[in-house]
Chain A
Amino acid sequence: GAGVSQSPSNKVTEKGKDVELRCDPISGHTALYWYRQSLGQGLEFLIYFQGNSAPDKSGLPSDRFSAERTGGSVSTLTIQRTQQEDSAVYLCASSLYQENTEAFFGQGTRLTVV
Chain B
Amino acid sequence: QKEVEQDPGPLSVPEGAIVSLNCTYSNSAFQYFMWYRQYSRKGPELLMYTYSSGNKEDGRFTAQVDKSSKYISLFIRDSQPSDSATYLCAMIHNQGGKLIFGQGTELSVKP
Chain A residues in the interface with B (C-beta under 8 A): 4, 33, 35, 40-43, 45, 48, 55-56, 59, 91, 93, 98-99, 101-108
Give CA–CA (A48, B8) in the complex, Å: 26
On whether the beta carbons of A104 and B46 are closer than 8 Å, the reply is yes
| A93 / chain B contacts, CB cutoff of 8 Å | 43, 99
The 0/1 profile, CB within 8 Å of A marked 1, for residues 78-93 of chain B is 0000000000101010
On whether the beta carbons of B43 and A45 are closer than 8 Å, the reply is no
Q: Say what secondary structure dominates the interface of chain A.
A: loop
Q: How large is the interface on B (under 10, 10 to 19, 20 to 34, 35 or more residues)?
A: 20 to 34
**Nearest CB in chain B to that of A41: its residue:** B103
Give CA–CA (A103, B100) in the complex, Å: 12
Give 14 A-B contacts (CB < 8 Å), ordered by A residue: A4-B43, A33-B98, A41-B103, A42-B101, A42-B104, A45-B100, A56-B98, A59-B98, A93-B43, A101-B51, A101-B92, A105-B44, A105-B45, A107-B43
| A107 / chain B contacts, CB cutoff of 8 Å | 42-43
On whether the beta carbons of A42 and B46 are closer than 8 Å, the reply is no
